[in-house]
Amino acid sequence: MNSLSRTYPAILMFLLMLAFYLGTTAGHLFSRDGTAMFFMTSSLARDGHFDVPQNINTGGGRLGRDGRYYSPYGIGQALVAAPLFMIGQWLTERTDFHYLAAFMTSLTNSFVTAALISILFVFYLMLGYSRHSALLTALVTGLTTMLWPYSRYFFSEPLVSLGQLGAVFLIYRAVKYPEQALVSLGLAGFSFGLAIVTRPITVLFCPVLLFYFVLEARYHKRAIVGRHLVALFGVIGLFSLIVAYYNWHRYGNPFIQGYMPLPDGSPQTFNYPFLKGLAVLLVSPGKSLFLFSPVLLLALTGLPRLYRRFPALTILIMVLSSSYIALYARWCQIEGGYSWGPRFLLPIIPLLALPLIEPMQRWATRSLPRTILIICLLVASFLVQMLAVLVNYTEIIELTQTDYYDPIEHQYNYFYNPIPDHISVLADYITGQHKPLPFFDRPVRERKGLYIINLDWSGTPDLWFFHLWSDGLDRTIILSSLGLLAVLGTAASLFLLKWLREIQYKRKAPA
């Protein structure tokens, strides 16, 4: 299958996932990080700067040497979100719904995550897996891991995940198709560079990328020449210089990101106890990667078979995933602030999804008990994501804040688990007994006048159409939008099914 023949199903997969993610998004910002990046986007779209207003929603930054207040986050998220912000701002200025700029901006990661799943799908095909296995595993990854809930949040991790997976995919493509190596490596550099300007600490993983390139080239018996390294790391270097210049412009130092000390006065740095950090990220009841994406346990079983087929790629997955876990096990705010699951580990989920295709392509041929076990694991993973989609996780943390953070040590409480509270709130939604938090229980007219909105919509399931319906938006607009998404998703699905059947027809065709 050549690259052109993969483009068509990739577009269909993107449209299918985009329709699904847009249909299940929340339409609001969730966190102070997201709000700060929203104001960075607003500043960029309005006057070409990245400064933010200094208030409680954008805290954690510092004054630059030009007198402007800056958040410590990378500029990548703002660059990608700017077009949607401008659409939303145009709508805001022409309606009495003042939060539409934030609403539209919050849709950014629906597009980003749909693109990520599309690349993963094409990656499976390029590796030589069957169309059915590639399609099934891509859908499983998109619907049963934390990628789905994070398509709704305006965090930077989905964009980092996209850039990182894109770089790995393009490096593999460069080695497999050497006649296109320079173009592929240049694009790989651009993709990884996007991850760096979005979250600058990603630059630390450049040696892992180089290691993978060398390993994959040796496995395929390809020669690496100077222009290959220039194409890949020259572009990455340019993006790194952009980050350095941005820091210098703000603070006069290319290495200062601008993080302010924590409320207790301690610096934000990598000083969390390492073994405790590993326990939090891997086995704790409130942040375990495998609790919030149980299907990844199944992915681990595919590593041995993937290694036999693609040793270099498997080594990359293990090294890069281990590097992420080891790095963030030491971060002082290991919980990722107010967040759902282990936020900082989101970029390794697409990597761990690569070995997932091995058990997925053989699940129907296994013994009945193993098949039932796999189905139960998939269902459990899907339900966990559903809890995050239907219930606003920030409401749960606000209700249980003394449980989320230890009131004595002022650190994340290892034993905190939000899932029972999510189930309880969801049950209240179903029975009609849930009430919004008193402080946020505003009249509709007042709510429509807000520029930023989050817990003000906590009285309904956390889906955009419920929120806009309760605020009195024209029902025709809401139902038409849902109808368009349904048509888009259905059409993409039908064309994907037709594409799947093509291979069957070719096999049946007479010689």
The letter for the amino acid at 373 is: L
Q: With 70 as the cut, is the pLDDT of residue 263 above it?
A: no
Which of 29-38, 102-111, 215-224 is the most confident on average?
102-111
* pLDDT score for 506: 52
Flag whether 160 is in a domain: yes
- Averaged pLDDT score across all residues of the chain: 91
| Sign of the dihedral through C-alpha 443, 55, 76, 31 | negative
How far apart, in whole angstroms, are the C-alpha atoms of residue 220 and residue 323? 25
Q: With 70 as the cut, is the pLDDT of residue 10 above it?
A: yes
Q: With 90 as the cut, is the pLDDT of residue 41 above it?
A: yes
The letter for the amino acid at 405 is: Y
Flag whether 309 is in a domain: yes
Structure tokens, 506? 């070719």
Alpha helices (H) in 151-225, listed in sequence order: 157-176, 181-198, 206-219
Structure tokens, 238? 């340019």
Flag whether 406 is in a domain: no
* pLDDT score for 243: 97
* pLDDT score for 117: 98
DSSP code per residue over 22-45: HHT---S--SHHHHHHHHHHHHHH
Q: With 80 as the cut, is the pLDDT of residue 119 above it?
A: yes
Flag whether 165 is in a domain: yes
Quote the number of domains for the chain. Answer: 1
**pLDDT tens profile 294-331:** 999 999 999 999 999 999 999 999 999 999 999 999 99
**pLDDT tens profile 169-191:** 999 999 999 999 999 999 999 99
Q: With 70 as the cut, is the pLDDT of residue 93 above it?
A: yes
* pLDDT score for 509: 45
Domain that holds residue 170: 3-25+107-390
* pLDDT score for 348: 97
Flag whether 462 is in a domain: no
Which of 197-206, 420-429, 478-487 is predicted with the least confidence, judged by mean pLDDT?
420-429
Flag whether 136 is in a domain: yes
> Contact 389/148 with Cβ under 8 angstroms?
yes
Q: Read off the pLDDT band of 364 (50, 70, 90).
A: low
* pLDDT score for 511: 40
In the chain, pLDDT over 90 holds for what percent of residues?
75
Q: CA 452, 58, 197, 349: dihedral to nearest 10 degrees?
A: -70
| Sign of the dihedral through C-alpha 7, 10, 162, 153 | positive
DSSP 361: T
Q: What are phi and psi of 70, to 5 degrees?
A: -120, 145
User: Which of 504, 492, 505, 506 minimizes the C-alpha distance to 9?
Assistant: 492
* pLDDT score for 510: 45
Q: What are phi and psi of 486, to 5 degrees?
A: -65, -40
* 16 contact partners, CB below 8 Å, separation of at least 6: 489, 492, 493, 496
Flag whether 481 is in a domain: no
Flag whether 452 is in a domain: no
Q: With 50 as the cut, is the pLDDT of residue 115 above it?
A: yes
Q: With 60 as the cut, is the pLDDT of residue 508 above it?
A: no
* 448 contact partners, CB below 8 Å, separation of at least 6: 96, 97, 98, 99, 471, 472
Structure tokens, 151? 């398509």
User: Which of 159, 181, 157 minimizes the C-alpha distance to 170?
Assistant: 181
DSSP 70: E
Q: With 60 as the cut, is the pLDDT of residue 4 above it?
A: no
Structure tokens, 81? 């979100």
**pLDDT tens profile 433-456:** 887 777 677 888 888 888 888 777
* pLDDT score for 1: 57
